[in-house]
Structure 1
Amino acid sequence: MLPSWLVIGVVTFLIALGSSILRPKDIKWFNRLQRPRWLTFEKAIPLIWTIVFICGAWSAYIVWEKTQNWGLMAFYALIEVTIVAYSPVLLWTRSLRNGTIVGGLGFVLGLFLAFQVLSISGTAALLLLPYLIWSPIGTYTTWEMGKLNPESF
């Protein structure tokens, strides 16, 4: 039998691959959008998401080892799918509003999970903090881009 950390890591990686289902024409569209002047950290976003996914998987591993709860694992997966859906939804619909909605939904789901996990493991809940900090920043950035690009909101 495979160790749980490996299964969780592989599932996390496979779900994360979903964010790469992007068409070049959509990426071109996104790159043409105006950005807020304060958006100086755009090149760091892939690293930030890598950290978020690693911490989320680690949190899931801790929770699994303590509970063996498939429902919680499904909830972790749902949040990751929501995170990964942001880019395809935003790009395929060419709507910053849709991206803002998906980002906000992911944050609410993440917050709910963190409160559930807190009673199981403080460490697992703390490992969700990178997402709970980054998600509103990314969502707010998308919303601000919508104000600069009203035709795409």
Structure 2
Amino acid sequence: MIQSWMVIGAVTFAIAVGTFFITPRDVKWFAQLTRPRWLVFEPLIPLIWTVVFVCGAASANIVWQKNPGSLITWLLMGSFVLLEIITISYIPAMLRWRSLRIGEILGSVGVILGVLLTLSVLPISKLAALLLLPYLAWSPVGTYTTEELIQLNPKDA
């Protein structure tokens, strides 16, 4: 029998594969942007997001286990998927249109949706809500970094 964590993990992974639609031309544009001096942790960002997504998938699995198949649970699963799609689309959308502003908007929407999802999950499971805290801590950092990039590269906003 297929376990819920397997399905949730597979969906999380499948959505994350969406970042492979970035072309080298787009990455070159981003690599040439001026970065804030304090952005020394940039090489760790993929690892940080991996941890954030694993925690999000674990949170979704806990929510599913509490009341599998109910309408509320399905709506919450949809919210988890929407949050990941918004988060994953940040880089491809920003790079495809060469617009830091698009990244900032998607990041801000992700922060808001992350807060709403955490508040919705809290009554179901405190642990599931706790597992969303890495997203709530890291997503604003990414959005703030994008704002700093806009300040340093106004022609690329």
**TM tier, smaller:** over 0.9
2:138 is paired with a residue of what secondary structure?
helix
Aligned equivalent of 1:120, options 104, 121, 124: 124
Partner of 1:109: 113
1:85 to 2:89 alignment: yes
How far is 1:21 from its partner?
1.1
**CA distance in 1 between partners of 2:90 and 2:82 (Å):** 13
Partner of 2:133: 129
2:27 is paired with a residue of what secondary structure?
helix
1:125 is paired with a residue of what secondary structure?
helix
> Deviation above 6 Å: which 4+ runs of structure 1?
none
**CA distance in 2 between partners of 1:86 and 1:2 (Å):** 31
List alignment gaps of at least 5 residues for structure 1. Answer: none
Partner of 1:16: 16
TM-score normalized by structure 2? 0.96
Aligned equivalent of 1:70, options 74, 77, 81: 74
Q: CA RMSD in A?
A: 0.6
What amino acid does structure 1 have at the position aligned with 2:108? G
Aligned equivalent of 2:98, options 94, 97, 101: 94
TM-score normalized by structure 1? 0.99
**CA distance in 2 between partners of 1:4 and 1:118 (Å):** 20
1:39 to 2:39 alignment: yes
